[in-house]
Amino acid sequence: MKISELLKYLEYKSFYGDAETQITGLCADSEKISEGDLFFCYKGKDHDSHDFARDAEKRGAVALVCERKLDCPLPQIIVNSGRGSIATAARAFFGFADKKLKLIGVTGTNGKTTTTFMLESIFKTAGKSVGVIGTLGISYAEKFVSPELTTPDPIFLHSIFADMVNCGVGYVFMEVSAHALYFNKIAGLHYEVGIFTNCTQDHLDFFGNMHDYAESKKLMFREGRCGYAVVNTDDALGRELLSGVKNAVGYGLKNPADVFAVDVREKIDGSDFVINLFDELYDIHLNVPALHNVYNAMGAAACAKILKIETDDIAKGLKNLKTVAGRLEHVAKYNGADIFVDFAHTPDGLEKSLQSLKKFCRGKLYCLFGCGGNRDKSKRPIMGGIVAKYADLCIVTSDNPRYEDPYDIISDIEAGIKPTGRRYVTVTERETATEYAINLLEKDDILLVAGKGGEYYQEIMGIKHSYNDNAVIKKIIG
């Protein structure tokens, strides 16, 4: 693509250089430049990539997008926001592949991954070609790309869209994170349906307060972004969206909704209920447990029905989903006890999972968990208090300490447990803690290993060490 072609789509203040320069790629990381790339410069939290323009030139960049004129001989497109221009440029460079796909976006604190997997199962059952983008990676057309970010950065995202089109994909179910919305990584995308699951405490290290965090979620439903909005009416922000967004429909159990469930029968290995799907009644069976997955199923069902999927295929698709990696996943039985792994890393997510397991626990309920380093510290004592409320014993350990001292993180968690007087132990090394917890188990007990879910690493001092809760548990029990 020539710069002159790209300029048709970019909002820019000025241009310097040869507009006939050929661009063969896009890049926003100077260390990953390939010959022929257009390099994007912008000021970030810790670094200003304008400082790396010369380095990008040496590595093969042929032009720059920047926020100010630089002392560099390369052609330069001057824009108001370098970061904000990436998505627009990527859409154009990859031929607006997103327009050839039916996009469905899922946002919310918890439930995004499970909802996208439910949608994938429903649409595959209906004979559709689909792709999934989210926390557990990217999958489509027998391809799988390992996860990096919940919502990929725009250049990679649009390259994936282009390949999906080439592979004949029709529908794409993607998780849309609060950070992606804040940084407008999805600029220009139109979603057939946007689903809102819930808004509870998370990412306050970045957003600072719940108001600003909620405002970022609302960006998903700004004018023109979604054809339909499917929102949880049992969430305060969901009710606000229902009354303020065009073409919004609601799902829930406690408040009036277009889609709701009755006769809910929860079991340790799933749930049965009757769904009222826009006044059509149908029996639903889920193989994934917990009431919060009934909510996820209702959101997925509402979306599918809006997109003209037959109710029979919706029910079969939900039933066909056997598990979602690391989402209240039953991974083993040991000594007559059940062991679950869950991604629950927020106060609300952890409480919902513990509430669900407590209903079926005839012995003791154990919970092993930790909190991530260099993230929202305020949720640590809250989560400690939640575990103390529901579990007979908490085992507090490490979970991606990053650049923090694991002992400091554990101490923050302890501050929420100690006032309750409940029993707990601390074991800093996660695998040792897991072995300790497993050795406590007796018949009818339940162990919840929470926080990491399907992750395959433990991040310590900038290094991601290979680690997976599921694999460690199976190794310990042999």
CA distance 441 to 431: 16
pLDDT at 47 over 90: no
Q: Is 386 left (phi over 0), alpha (psi -120 to 50) or beta?
A: alpha
The percent of residues above 90 in pLDDT, for the chain, comes to: 98
248, 284 in Cβ contact below 8 A? no
Give the per-residue SS3 of 305-321: HHCCCCHHHHHHHHHHC
Q: For residue 46, name the pLDDT band (cuts at 50, 70, 90).
A: confident
**pLDDT at 128 (0 to 100):** 98
**pLDDT at 210 (0 to 100):** 97
**pLDDT at 306 (0 to 100):** 98
Summarize the confidence of residues 33-59 as an average pLDDT: 94
**pLDDT at 100 (0 to 100):** 98
Coil/strand/helix, residue 244: helix
- The pLDDT tens digits of the residues spanning 118-128 come to 999 999 999 99
| Structure-token match 């001092």, residue found | 461
- The pLDDT tens digits of the residues spanning 177-233 come to 999 999 999 999 999 999 999 999 999 999 999 999 999 999 999 999 999 999 999
**pLDDT at 477 (0 to 100):** 96
**pLDDT at 262 (0 to 100):** 98
pLDDT at 444 over 90: yes
Q: Where are the alpha helices (DSSP H) in 200-325?
A: 204-207, 210-218, 236-244, 291-306, 311-320
- The pLDDT tens digits of the residues spanning 308-367 come to 999 999 999 999 999 999 999 999 999 999 999 999 999 999 999 999 999 999 999 999
Q: For residue 7, name the pLDDT band (cuts at 50, 70, 90).
A: very high
Residues 6 or more apart whose CB falls under 8 angstroms from that of 242 comprise 229, 231, 233, 248, 249, 250
pLDDT at 148 over 90: no
**pLDDT at 449 (0 to 100):** 98
* DSSP bridge pairs for 259: 251, 277
pLDDT at 434 over 90: yes
pLDDT at 44 over 90: no
**pLDDT at 467 (0 to 100):** 98
pLDDT at 463 over 90: yes
237, amino acid identity: L
Calculate the alpha carbon distances from 377 to 206, 367, 374, 442 in Å. 11, 20, 8, 34
Summary mean pLDDT of the chain: 97
Instruction: Give the tokens for residue 45.
Output: 């939290």
135, 150 in Cβ contact below 8 A? yes
**pLDDT at 45 (0 to 100):** 78
Coil/strand/helix, residue 340: strand
Report pTM.
0.96
Q: Nearest CA to 42 among 25, 65, 60? A: 65
- The pLDDT tens digits of the residues spanning 257-311 come to 999 999 999 999 999 999 999 999 999 999 999 999 999 999 999 999 999 999 9
**pLDDT at 357 (0 to 100):** 98
